[in-house]
């Protein structure tokens, strides 16, 4: 059976919804930060619940662009991941 997700503990679900509603560059920021955080988790460098914290920080620190170009998307993806890896 399916239960309602615990969005207080696993608030990345809400962050994903927020990124989707906002559109623009935020879905890229969400995805890039999630990929980087999961990689760090799998390498044993962070705890599982830190993934959401990393995503939230990236979304808060990145200015959204409503209609990004492919270059802006690719640059943002690269910059977000580099920033997260440097902090770990």
**What's the confidence (pLDDT) of residue 88?**
87
Q: Dihedral angle at the C-alpha atoms of 25, 31, 34, 38, nearest 10 degrees? A: -150
Q: Which domains does the chain have, with CATH numbers?
A: 12-87 (1.10.1740.10)
Task: Output the CA angle 10-15-21, nearest 5 degrees.
Answer: 145
In the chain (88 residues long), the average pLDDT of successive 10-residue segments reads 87 97 98 99 98 98 98 98 96
Three-class DSSP labels, the chain:
CCCCCCCCCCCHHHHHHHHHHHCCCHHHHHHHHHHHHHHHHHCCCCCCCHHHHHHHHHHHHCCCCCCCCHHHHHHHHHHHHHHHHHHC
């Amino acid at each position: 059976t399916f239960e309602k997700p615990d969005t207080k503990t696993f608030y990345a679900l809400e962050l994903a919804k927020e990124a989707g509603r906002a559109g623009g560059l935020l879905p890229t920021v969400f995805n890039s930060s999630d990929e980087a955080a999961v990689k760090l988790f799998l390498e044993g460098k962070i705890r599982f619940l830190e993934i959401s914290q990393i995503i939230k920080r990236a979304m808060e620190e990145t200015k959204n662009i409503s209609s990004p170009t492919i270059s802006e998307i690719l640059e943002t993806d690269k910059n977000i991941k580099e920033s997260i890896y440097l902090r770990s």
